[in-house]
Structure 1
Amino acid sequence: MNLRTIKLKLKRNRPLKMVVLSITVGVITGLVASLFFLFLEWAKAIIFDGILGLKLASPPGEHIISDDNLIHIKTTLYDRIFSNIPQSLLIILVPGLGCGLAAYLVRRFAPNAAYDGTSALVDTFHNKRAKMKLSTAFTKGIASIITLASGGSGGKEGPVAQVGAGCGSYLADKLKLSVKERRVLFLSGCAGGLGAIFRAPLGAAITAVEVLYKEDFESEAIMPCVIASVTSYSTFMLTFGSHTIFNLGEVESFEGFFHIPSYILLALTCSAIGAFYVKFYQFTKEFFIKLKIPTPIKPVVGGMLTGLLALIMPYALGDGWGAIQEVMDGNLTLGFIALAVIVKIVATSLTIGSGGSAGIFGPSLFIGAMTGGCLGSFLHMQFPDNPMVPSITAFVMVGMAAFFAGVANAPIASIIMVCEITGTYNLLAPLLLTSAFSMLFNSKVSIFKPQVLNKFESPAHKGDMTVNILQEIQVGEAVELSQKIKTVEATTMLGQLSQLVRNTEQHIFPVVRQGKLIGIANLDKIRTVMFNQDTYSMLIVADIMEKSVVLKSNMTLYEALGKFLNDGHLELCVVNDDNEVISILRYQNLIEAYHKGVNLHNYDKEDSLHAPI
């Protein structure tokens, strides 16, 4: 089987084509995510350990550089060179320089990339036909590595997903696929990037299709996203193994009604802090936009302020995920955890809001985990050994899902994602409960500004939502089947027809023989002949009739419109299966039925959008 035959088969079999393309995108994004992760971890080691002299914990699933190598880096760089500079000064300056350099790269090579990683994906899908330049995606990826490695507060998941989506879009353009197919590959690339970097193939696939909308999801892309995500995850596993990011150990099971009050309280807390997080992030972004200093200086200021916060709370730097494992293990105090929540909200807003390049996905999980840990620690201090209070680990895990569900309007994705990155489904019931409550309390909040309500609101689906009203209405619904139609026999003299015309508003007269339609007499075309006295007794209707274009009552008005346009008449005969005339459809009937259908469709749509819960 040659290449040409394969291409032909794929062209004819769309499901097979999408499977092959999804696998291809998955392999590509798996390799890209592996390189991104590798470069980022080594860059962080060089800057954090070698330049800043900081040793921050990392979760077990992301500890890929040996302790010996980290010690060697610190000894070679920090101890010999940078230890002569005050460490506090380095912690302030390095994030500022990193954010400034990253912002410069984005302005220089990807000037249209105005959003953080995930928001950029949502915006490109809805408003840019899922068309993303590969150079833009890779520029954002490199800029994000610089931002995060230098200590900027943000996540790596959004940028990796953006690079993956860019690969999918590029492949679709090279293969000259349709816009619809490009959107599917775009989301498949996004799912592939997330599936690899999170080690969460199903959660990544659901995230890619759910995060686009507040109350909807991109159903057509689910299976391609699953295929791409699993393939990408498998590719990533070849280098970094299959272990989960966090190590929970044994997690207590859900105790039903005993635990429900605690989890509802957690949902309320996550909702309140989530709403504050979104508002503060948006406020900070607006503040830096209006700040009257040169644009290139803004991310430097944001980065330096983040470094200043790191002097108070070291986990303000980077994604801070090492602290999540620490709080799960019970190694952090209540005061430290509470401070981490506030500092991370401010640090992330400063880094990204000032123009730094990073994702907002990762910090959301951090803040949710710390919120859960804070509430859990507080309740355990107030009610020690109380069976109604779940473990701190359970609070941390459930807090991650509840917080992200509220700020991102992605409850299903957050539940599955958290289960996969922690390696357990033991707490599925409280995850469902808290995510539902969090969504309910924060229904009008979204950290991703380009998110739209549903497909009706998305420019990507305007063509899909332009309903062909005429296709939904049958001819029999637009005419009065009971109306009395004037027909004439083929042998009728022209003089008799002229008498009939005076007593009706019909423009065409069906010509019949033994009750069967054989043609029409069109008044507009025979008027000059019909009223000529010399022809009254010389011609019969059969002499002046023309071929009839007929409709049937079960035809659609869309088909009828085509016949009207081709035939040029303002009236067409409607016949039954025996070719007997049962009615006449006027063009005016069609227009009236169309307007009635449009009004009904708009009413149904408005009713569905504003129906009470």
Structure 2
Amino acid sequence: MSRFSRLFHQFDPSEQRLVAQSLIIGTLVWAIIYALKNGMHWLEHHLLTFLAEQPFGVAAATLLGTLTLGALFVAALARYGSKRVHYRDANGHLHELIDVEGDGLERAISLYYASEPTFDRALLGEEGVDVRWKLPTFSLALRKIAATLATLGSGGSGGLEASVTLIGESVAAGLFKPRGVGLQGGARRMWHWWRSSDPDDLQTAQLSGIAAAVATLLGAPFAAAFFATEVMYRRRPIVEKLVYALIAALVAFFLNNIANTALAGEGFSRFSIGHLFDVDQIVLPPLGNWRYYVVLVTMCLLIASVSTQFSLLRTRLDDWFHGRFSNLWVRHLVGALLTGTIAILVWLVVATAAHYQLFGISPETSQHAWGLVLGTGEAVINQALDGRVVLAIALLALFAKMVATLCTISSGGSAGLLVPSLFLGTMIATLFIRLPLEMGWTQWTFSPVVLIVPAMTASLVSIVNVPLAAILFAVEVFSGWYMVPALITQVIVSIFTHQAPIYRTQREHYREREILPGYGVRRLPLPVEWDGYTVAELDIRRRYHLNVIGWVEQTGEGGLPYVRLSADADKPLKYGDILVVLGQNSDLELFEELLASGNILYVATAADHPDPNSPPRVLPNHRDRGERGRFAE
């Protein structure tokens, strides 16, 4: 016992607290996401069943009606009581986003980094966990749950994973948010032990919440923990945080399977391992068949191409919805009606083809035509794994589902893109499964599972950009035999799509960083022409409407670089120093262009060194630009 006690106390108090927090977060997040998942599936099942049983006119009218009501409900949530969060893209620009709208993963990333100490936060007088506490936690989770049920339950197209990441983050953060409730005695001591005043500890809790939420959906805890870590730290994986994310994911995984077993009436003596997709038996990939690798490579190239276009279409549709429809209510309604219109057109095409027995489409397929576009698409993926999706249906569903999903999400509907990305890979793999059968190429024919699983990996890598999580997902759900095909697809699609993920990265460029939408900070090297001048002499604030908030001396005291913030405006600058300049982006861009245009700057020489008491002779004001944007000379 004493040895065990010594072993336990090798964990410092901070690690003990993080383990306890991960266990509690995993339990609470699982309960919430489990209820949401089953509630959403119940709504989706009953809606699709009702549509399939009704005449076309009644079904179409019902669908448009439910989509309209769902869009209005989400628009009301976005209009009343919502908050704005800022998301930083790869170029350092900030985007203002409504917290409850659209893809929740970008919002979760923004909230995750809200408490991280940064230079721009310091400029705004904000730092640490207080930045996250100013934004909603439990209330955001409740609104996101309601918005997701309204979007997907009314017939919207999309997945659950992006919504549950935001819900998991908000619930985890909410457990540590000070509530202003007076605590006494033991409760007060417990709160002081429990609370997170360190941004690093808060981020660990947030990551645990996201991992638990994704594990509840996927049934793959290791992949879920890696998914959460990779999404947040795409270019710098943090192994220490992965451990606590894995604890929460494992808790959610086991609770998920225990609950599923109990609901199935099998009792608690044993439980079955359930995953997102149903596979009756494991089919081993033909790793010794060279034709299999040829098909894999060709399929990956097509997935990479389609995924790149999908990412571009997402950006354009997002710009179109927000640029064309400034009215929030109209934007949500247009997105919902477009989704419904696509579903109606797909139903008409499938029903017509089934009636005339075209393209191998059976009447049974037409009964499930609504599911090709509406909802998450998990049922269609399971049908493809069983080999029950024909070539024409795969081609039709591929494009219809992608456009409908983007219409739902870009217009502000609450849905995600993880399962739709799996849908994309599955439909492309189905093309490679069915085409050889149609052409009679028996040697190039493979079981659906052996192509669909690598295709899922490829689509996760190319669209969501989580390569390790994608490989682990294939291994955990479909067995370790798929490690080699998953690795091959991961390498190929990463080469062609690593710069075009569907989720914009948070890793901004060093030299360009916005502190508010439209305002940024640049670090610009001092040109040789300004060597010896002071900030006051250059008069940058009046001439260029910018503030020099400091500079980095390349040769400070002791010969080492020295950072000067709130620096003396009368201290001469030296060539090689780096100016830290704050202002509007448009002014910063013009100022940067001026520094690059050496032909119009005053050139100081040894014989003509500037007088410290007089300003430079030639320092053009960028407000004197011509109409075409060139400096007047």
Instruction: Give the TM-score range, shorter chain.
Output: 0.5 to 0.7
CA apart distance, 1:101: 1.3
Q: 1:105 to 1:10 in 2, by over 3 A?
A: farther
1:342 and 1:41 map into 2 onto residues whose CA distance is: 23
| One of 476, 482, 487 as aligned partner of 1:432 | 487
Q: Is the 8 A contact 1:165 1:189 kept in 2?
A: yes
CA apart distance, 1:453: 6.8
Q: Is the 8 A contact 1:244 1:423 kept in 2?
A: no
Residue in 1 that maps onto 2:464: 408
Amino acid at match of 1:220: E
Residue in 1 that maps onto 2:441: 384
SS of the residue corresponding to residue 243 of structure 1 reads coil
CA apart distance, 1:213: 4.2
Q: Is the 8 A contact 2:277 2:378 kept in 1?
A: no
Q: Is the 8 A contact 1:110 1:140 kept in 2?
A: no
Residue in 2 that maps onto 1:253: 285
- 1:302-346 CA deviation, whole Å, 9 max, x = no partner? 111111111215221011111111111111110110111100110
Residue 14 of structure 1 pairs with residue 46 of structure 2 = no
Q: Is the 8 A contact 1:212 1:452 kept in 2?
A: no
Q: 1:374 to 1:307 in 2, by over 3 A?
A: same
2:400 and 2:35 map into 1 onto residues whose CA distance is: 30
CA apart distance, 1:180: 0.9
| One of 180, 183, 189 as aligned partner of 2:209 | 189
Identity of aligned residues (%): 22
2:293 and 2:512 map into 1 onto residues whose CA distance is: 36
1:228 and 1:246 map into 2 onto residues whose CA distance is: 22
Residue 275 of structure 1 pairs with residue 312 of structure 2 = no
Residue in 1 that maps onto 2:34: 34
SS of the residue corresponding to residue 275 of structure 2 reads coil
2:512 and 2:32 map into 1 onto residues whose CA distance is: 33
CA apart distance, 1:430: 0.6
| One of 75, 89, 105 as aligned partner of 1:118 | 105
Amino acid at match of 1:445: A
CA apart distance, 1:392: 2.4
Amino acid at match of 1:161: T
SS of the residue corresponding to residue 173 of structure 1 reads coil
SS of the residue corresponding to residue 172 of structure 1 reads coil
Q: 1:41 to 1:408 in 2, by over 3 A?
A: closer
| One of 42, 63, 66 as aligned partner of 1:94 | 66
Give the structure-1-normalised TM-score: 0.66
Amino acid at match of 1:181: D
Q: Is the 8 A contact 2:332 2:411 kept in 1?
A: yes
1:419 and 1:12 map into 2 onto residues whose CA distance is: 34
Residue 158 of structure 1 pairs with residue 158 of structure 2 = no
1:454 and 1:393 map into 2 onto residues whose CA distance is: 41
Q: 1:199 to 1:101 in 2, by over 3 A?
A: same
- 1:53-84 CA deviation, whole Å, 9 max, x = no partner? 337xxxxxxxxxxxxxxxxxxxxxx7xxxx79
Residue 317 of structure 1 pairs with residue 317 of structure 2 = no
Residue in 2 that maps onto 1:244: 275
| One of 591, 594, 598 as aligned partner of 2:558 | 591
Mean Cα deviation higher: 422-431 or 130-139: 130-139
Residue 172 of structure 1 pairs with residue 181 of structure 2 = no
Amino acid at match of 1:371: I
SS of the residue corresponding to residue 435 of structure 2 reads helix
Q: Is the 8 A contact 2:391 2:434 kept in 1?
A: yes
Structure 1 portions without partners, runs of 5+: 1-8, 56-77, 461-587, 603-613
CA apart distance, 1:10: 12
Amino acid at match of 1:326: Q
Q: 1:176 to 1:167 in 2, by over 3 A?
A: same
Q: 1:283 to 1:164 in 2, by over 3 A?
A: same
Q: Is the 8 A contact 1:48 1:150 kept in 2?
A: no
Q: 1:357 to 1:238 in 2, by over 3 A?
A: same
SS of the residue corresponding to residue 40 of structure 1 reads helix
1:215 and 1:378 map into 2 onto residues whose CA distance is: 39
Q: Is the 8 A contact 2:325 2:331 kept in 1?
A: no
1:115 and 1:430 map into 2 onto residues whose CA distance is: 33
Q: 1:385 to 1:216 in 2, by over 3 A?
A: farther
What is the root-mean-square deviation in Å for CA atoms of aligned residues? 3.0
1:109 and 1:236 map into 2 onto residues whose CA distance is: 32
2:489 and 2:509 map into 1 onto residues whose CA distance is: 23
Q: 1:292 to 1:325 in 2, by over 3 A?
A: closer
CA apart distance, 1:457: 10
How many aligned positions are there? 434
2:447 and 2:314 map into 1 onto residues whose CA distance is: 31
Which has a greater percent of helix? 1
Residue in 2 that maps onto 1:202: 222
CA apart distance, 1:382: 3.9
Q: Is the 8 A contact 1:153 1:316 kept in 2?
A: yes
